Structure 1
């Protein structure tokens, strides 16, 4: 039977110091996940599963390398995390799987149901593709060589979740062990020892045309021949983390990784066909420029918002229109501004210190560092303030409309012309720009632009 790898997130060295993960309620993520992991390992071994626990002093990348150096074809891997949010009312468990992998999604559902069966008081936040995570990709899901999942078992910042985790830790462990046992048996029902792997072939379409060569399916992930990557004009020479495998003397590349090179990926399980669309309808070098054109329609913005929060349009029905109008007046890319709003407000769910009635869609502060974020008299004025603040960062040009941004005059004009340069400026989060870019790519994929 295949083995089970399990990693407790955090605790290792990141950027030269020990990483405790999120901290709340007098404890930290690394401590809680190590305690939970140890119980899961004990339970699985009692059921005669072979379990490998990742050493706790490894970094995130070292963890993946440690697993990959030991993994065999029918093994599986799970990393457990505790989530965190600005609002203590945010609760629940969720699991991330590698995007465009139906098999892995089913595995994730199996595991989440098993946990919630043991701990029914824990809210179900669902299974999600890793493209829906903050950075648009999760290294543990993408780079681990075997089938892998990343589980957020609870919110450490929620007193209710934290109390459940600390008082019913064994129930959490039993539920996760149940799910891992079922997943492992699904991958390897006990057919015998390790044999030379045989991977099923898949069909490939490029821009609507059938490609003459086939790809292969490994652990539910589509792989394409390296020759096709070259034909798409994708340069992987500076992308060492993109997974490559050699099978029957041909080198294959994990298709989902090509999304970072503006290649759209979709999968039709019925026909076992991978579809690639390589046409980028946005000029090269312009996708991250704040002072540029938007490319989506008002309807596309509405659909994107509604698909991620069904109630958002009910509360702010004109918001897509406001972003297109206000940003166009000042020459700001309304797609970028809109995606920043989606990130800052969690698709208009708000939470933390931001409230809907403040009409503050980007976490703008007040003069003098007040305890609350700025408030605006209407949604239009709130959008206008955000647009003006973006223009302050990205341009030396004067405003077209009267200033409503309370902190416009404090920005060093033109200091951040691209999304990535907002990191550490608009937000202390050094991944802030990457998160906006990930959201922007989700928008453009949903609109069929990439």
Structure 2
């Protein structure tokens, strides 16, 4: 029987102190997840499963290293989290899996359904690829060599979820244990003792050409020979975040880890081919600069919006055109601005106190004690204000158009030329710029520019 690794998120040392995770309702994420994890471990051991609980004092990176040092074929790993949101109405459970891995998605559905069958009052937020997470990828899903999933059991910021978690903790534990037991049986249906692995071979296609050597499929993940990575002129020799295995005297790395080096990864299930496309079209080391040129077309922006919200263009059909025109007029990268709009509005779903009729696409505040968020007379003026606000942060150059941004004059000009530097300024979220940049990479991948 394969073993089950369980990690309670947070609680370990990160930086200069202990990381409590989310804090809400007089409790912390670390405290709640440790209590829940202990019940899950007890339940699974009572069912004769071999369970390893990750030590609570480890950092996130140490947790991954701890599991990788002990995990073997037929084992699985789950990390449990509790999220927070700005609105207490946001609630429910979700499971994240490594993007483009259908097998892991199916595993995630088993784990999530196990919980939801036991706690029927908990809303279902679905099984989601880790590219839909706030950071664009999740280390626990990508850097662990055995099959792994990350589960959000609810939102501490939701009084309803918090009440359920604290008053029906055993039901949460039973449900998650049900799901983990089902997942473990899928990975090892015959309860066999692990032996020397025999991984199936897969084909490799790089930039439209078949690569002469084959890769291997490990737990549903594509691995490619290190020689190919060298040919792409990518140096992963000092990167601890790249998963490596030694199989039959050849070193392989997980293909999806190359996304951090701006390589697009795809999978053709019919021909069992991992498809890689190296970045040949754009200069990636300047993508984070606000004062630069956008490179997408209006149609590509429209498709990106529509693929993430099929109703996005019903009320704002001209928005991609407006961002391109206003961004080009002021020298602001309209791709970055457009992706910030997608983040702020939830791909034009709005919510969070800002209504669509306010034409406020970037969460701009008002002045003089007015409403929390500014309003603009038209979509164009709203976009113009957004572009001007970005230019205020990124440049000392004067505006081309008349000022419509109500807070333009309060910004220290040129203090944040990179999108990463508006984190903690535009938003209190210190990962704000990273989230925008992750969305832009998704935009470029959908447009086949990366």
Match of 1:121 in 2: 121
- Counterparts in 2 of 1:305 and 1:280: CA distance versus 1, 3 Å: same
Q: Deviations over 1:405-445 (max 9, x none)?
A: 11111222222222222223222322222111111101111
Match of 2:395 in 1: 395
CA distance in 2, matches of 1:357, 1:84: 27
Match of 1:60 in 2: 60
Match of 1:35 in 2: 35
* Residue 248 of structure 1, CA deviation: 0.9
Match of 2:49 in 1: 49
* Residue 92 of structure 1, CA deviation: 1.4
Match of 1:372 in 2: 372
Q: Which moved more, 1:175-184 or 1:18-27?
A: 18-27
Match of 2:206 in 1: 206
Match of 2:258 in 1: 258
CA distance in 2, matches of 1:59, 1:361: 37
* Residue 294 of structure 1, CA deviation: 1.2
Q: Do 1:92 and 1:154's aligned partners in 2 also have CA atoms closer than 8 Å?
A: yes
Match of 2:320 in 1: 320
Q: Deviations over 1:310-358 (max 9, x none)?
A: 3322233322222112111111111100111111222223333333333
Q: Deviations over 1:273-322 (max 9, x none)?
A: 10111143223433222111111122221221222223322233322222
Q: Do 1:86 and 1:351's aligned partners in 2 also have CA atoms closer than 8 Å?
A: no
Q: Deviations over 1:216-237 (max 9, x none)?
A: 1111110101110111121213
SS at structure 2 position matched to 1:299: helix
- Counterparts in 2 of 1:148 and 1:284: CA distance versus 1, 3 Å: closer
CA distance in 2, matches of 1:151, 1:306: 28
SS at structure 1 position matched to 2:286: coil
* Residue 371 of structure 1, CA deviation: 6.6
Aligned length: 450
CA distance in 1, matches of 2:285, 2:20: 37
Q: Do 1:8 and 1:33's aligned partners in 2 also have CA atoms closer than 8 Å?
A: yes
SS at structure 2 position matched to 1:182: helix
Q: Deviations over 1:148-203 (max 9, x none)?
A: 00011111112222222222222221211111001101111244323111111100
Q: Do 2:97 and 2:128's aligned partners in 1 also have CA atoms closer than 8 Å?
A: yes
Q: Which moved more, 1:431-440 or 1:347-356?
A: 347-356
Q: Do 1:290 and 1:418's aligned partners in 2 also have CA atoms closer than 8 Å?
A: yes
Q: Which moved more, 1:419-428 or 1:240-249?
A: 419-428
CA distance in 1, matches of 2:355, 2:31: 33
SS at structure 2 position matched to 1:82: strand
Unpaired runs of 5+ residues, structure 2, are none
CA distance in 2, matches of 1:162, 1:371: 31
Q: Do 1:262 and 1:280's aligned partners in 2 also have CA atoms closer than 8 Å?
A: no
Q: Do 2:185 and 2:191's aligned partners in 1 also have CA atoms closer than 8 Å?
A: no
Matches within 5 A, 1:161-240: 161-240=161-240
Matches within 5 A, 1:35-434: 35-367=35-367, 372-434=372-434
Q: Which moved more, 1:294-303 or 1:69-78?
A: 294-303
Unpaired runs of 5+ residues, structure 1, are none
SS at structure 1 position matched to 2:307: helix
CA distance in 1, matches of 2:355, 2:162: 25
SS at structure 2 position matched to 1:364: coil
* Residue 368 of structure 1, CA deviation: 5.4
